[in-house]
Amino acid sequence: MAKKKTAEDAPSGTAPDRPARLGRDAWRGVVRRTVREFRADNLVDWAAALTYYGILALFPGLIVVVSLVGLSGESGTRTLVDNVRQLAPGPLRDVLISGIEGLQGTAPTAGVLAAVGLLVALWSASKYISAFIRAVNAIYDVPEGRPFWKLAPLRVGLTLLMVVLLGASALAVTFTGRLAAEAGRMLGLGSAFVTGWNYAKWPVILLVVMVAVATLYWAAPNVRQARWRWITPGSALAIAVWIAASAGFAVYVANFGSYNATYGALAGVVIFLVWLWISNLAVLLGAELDAELARARKIAQGAPESAEPFAEPRDTRKFSSKEREQFSAAVHDGRRRDEQAPGKLPH
């Protein structure tokens, strides 16, 4: 069997094209810098900002989902409640069920509520995307250089894509039990369809989440990126940390937390906010890891570890004169190292 290539085997002065080709020392440096930069970039505060905008977008989105499901009758809403009760993490479950039950009596105006909720959800979600763009720019230490006419379509496009992907996830969760059985009967697929879908929906939901996170990591920062990938080390870490943190937080709240004694009737809301904040921390941690992997590739080309900026911006039209000079010099140095200076690869 051929030996797996690492950074030691790469031509001198070139960056490893995949994280797997970074050596052990390089990976240790990536982990060390990820932890250090996570603190230095104030990602705890950025996660709090994203939580705020996420809350603004969540409840209008809930109105849309409940209103549309309500159009299918009481059985659709009941299926949604049952699935949320079984599947949603503890902090999210109580808040969602309370909201769904509060909207159950709105069937006569479901269409109007769905339209209004969709508009408000899109506006609120665009604020979340704007905050996320600013956060990942801080992670890459790059100012926003894209002009409004270029940034606004990106923000709207990402917002619409996230709404579609999250809507698809909600549909996958809702489309089960009685609804799936009825669809299978109408299509002549029988009970095998329902059984198969009950297993297949989880990979589908995971795939949707992976696409959403990978797209945010690729499109949001004002940084030139390699081609879009289904999954990156950062997105894999984000999803794994999110799953583990959600499970751990649910166990903590159920067995050790004193939120009910401290917050009383507001305990459910506070628990949900903390869970959403943890979720945003996981997403930002993944973005930080991908950024530090990009830095590691620059180090492999001969750049000093402390070099700032370390990434080439996508657009500099909104940069100040000082920022433009700084980034032009960094880009020139990087290209010169590529062409002339061999540099020492980490191993």
Q: What is the pLDDT of residue 79?
A: 66
Dmax over CA atoms of the chain, in Å, equals: 71
pLDDT in tens, the chain (347 residues): 444 443 334 444 555 656 666 778 888 889 999 999 999 999 999 999 999 998 887 777 766 666 666 555 565 666 666 666 665 655 566 666 666 666 555 555 556 666 676 777 778 788 999 999 999 999 999 989 899 999 999 999 998 888 888 777 766 766 666 666 666 666 666 667 677 777 777 788 888 888 899 999 999 999 988 788 888 899 999 999 998 988 888 777 777 666 666 776 677 778 888 888 999 999 999 999 999 998 888 887 777 777 776 788 888 888 887 777 777 666 556 555 555 544 444 43
Report the alpha-carbon distance of residue 189 to residue 223 in Å, rounded: 48
With b meaning 16 or more CB within 10 Å and e meaning fewer, what string describes 267-296? Answer: bbbebbbbbbbbbbbbbbbbbbbbbbbbbb
Provide the residue type at 150 as one letter.
K
Q: What is the pLDDT of residue 8?
A: 38
**Which structure tokens are listed for 104?**
């159950």
* Residue 107 lies in domain: 31-139+161-296
Looking up tokens 């198969």 gives 196
Q: Is residue 132 in a domain? A: yes
Q: Is residue 13 in a domain? A: no
Q: Is residue 203 in a domain? A: yes
Q: Is residue 259 in a domain? A: yes
Per the CB < 8 A criterion, the answer to whether 222 and 314 are in contact is: yes
**At residue 322, what are phi and psi to the nearest 5 degrees?**
-65, -45
- What is the count of structural domains for the chain? 1
From 66, 91, 93, select the one nearest 174 (Cα to Cα).
66
Q: Interior CA angle at 202 toward 63 and 172, to 5°?
A: 30
Q: Is residue 309 in a domain? A: no
Q: Is residue 345 in a domain? A: no
**Which structure tokens are listed for 323?**
């920022």
Q: What is the pLDDT of residue 134?
A: 95
Q: Is residue 88 in a domain? A: yes
Q: Is residue 60 in a domain? A: yes
Per the CB < 8 A criterion, the answer to whether 318 and 37 are in contact is: no
Q: What is the pLDDT of residue 104?
A: 59
Q: What is the pLDDT of residue 3?
A: 43
